[in-house]
Amino acid sequence: MTLPTADPFVGQVLENRYQVDELIARGGMANVYRASDLKLGRTVALKILAGSLANDPNFVERFMHEAKASAALMHPNVVAVHDQGLALGFPFLVMEFVPGKTIREVLAVHGPFASAHALEIMKSVLAGLAAAHDAGFVHRDIKPENVLITNDGQIKVTDFGLARVIADQPATSNTGAVLLGTMAYLSPEQVQQHPVDARSDVYSSGILLYEMVTGRVPFTGATPLDVAYRHVNEDVPAPSILQPDVPPAVDHLVLGATARNIHNRISSARAFQENVFRALSAVPEAESLIT
């Protein structure tokens, strides 16, 4: 369903090249549009930043820098960044247009995934993350909204540059609400504002796997801060406690990926992926994924 188009960008041609066709998603930090690249004759996605940070010159400068860096990250399981620019003073990314649904949208319609489906998705998520980590990127915001399933069944991770530049802002700035809004997936070291590395993405990926097989995140609370304290002070439970048909192999993966002590956690996305390959042989097969 097309969202309302009472929008300052719809119908405009940005930088004499990108014709904005329709608004396809709203977010707290950015809106996403389907657009036409008039130069290359292809459909693209434009992510245009919204909110007060778009008026912060330091933030815009970092955003542009990270966008350029993200454009060098090319992998079939990562949404490609083609270009970046400014529109009416708002920074934007030009990205690969991916027809399909987010994991969040699929969960909302179909409920939890079969373990085999969840593991197949994780294989691709972790392949994209491993490539990013090899290139020096830590995503910092892995969650169902940032994983796409294309109409032909491919898995793509999105928002590398955006997540990184937002996460680098001081927690007391206006980004605080953004970080708290994704607290359900943040590693303990992120909550405590300690340095992060690839193992923080491993933790968030473990939470993603937990949610895919149970339909829920492991920690909830009355406020985002309540959730934050639980990440720091409580172990993520085995998903089979909530969903008894989840096999032990998946329990083992989730618990290994979400160890609170970063030194006890699965050490890398690639190691996590290798464990997923082994677990797939120990879970019941499932029919084709319907999205």
Give the catalytic positions in this structure.
141
Whether 184 and 217 have beta carbons less than 8 Å apart is answered as: yes
**What's at 65, amino acid-wise?**
H
Calculate helix-pair angle for 160-167, 57-70, nearest 10 degrees.
Answer: 140
- Residues 6 or more apart whose CB falls under 8 angstroms from that of 134 comprise none
- Tell me the backbone φ, ψ of residue 90, rounded to 5 degrees: -100, 125
Tokens matching residue 175: 């980004």
Largest Cα–Cα separation, the chain: 56
Distance CA 161, CA 70 (A): 6
Distance CA 208, CA 214 (A): 10
Distance CA 6, CA 8 (A): 7
Residue ranges of alpha helices (H) inside the chain are 57-70, 103-110, 115-134, 160-167, 176-181, 188-191, 198-214, 224-233, 248-257, 269-280
Four-point Cα dihedral 162, 273, 218, 259, nearest 10: -100
Four-point Cα dihedral 21, 22, 24, 27, nearest 10: 100
Nearest partner of 21 among 31, 9, 39, judged by Cα: 9
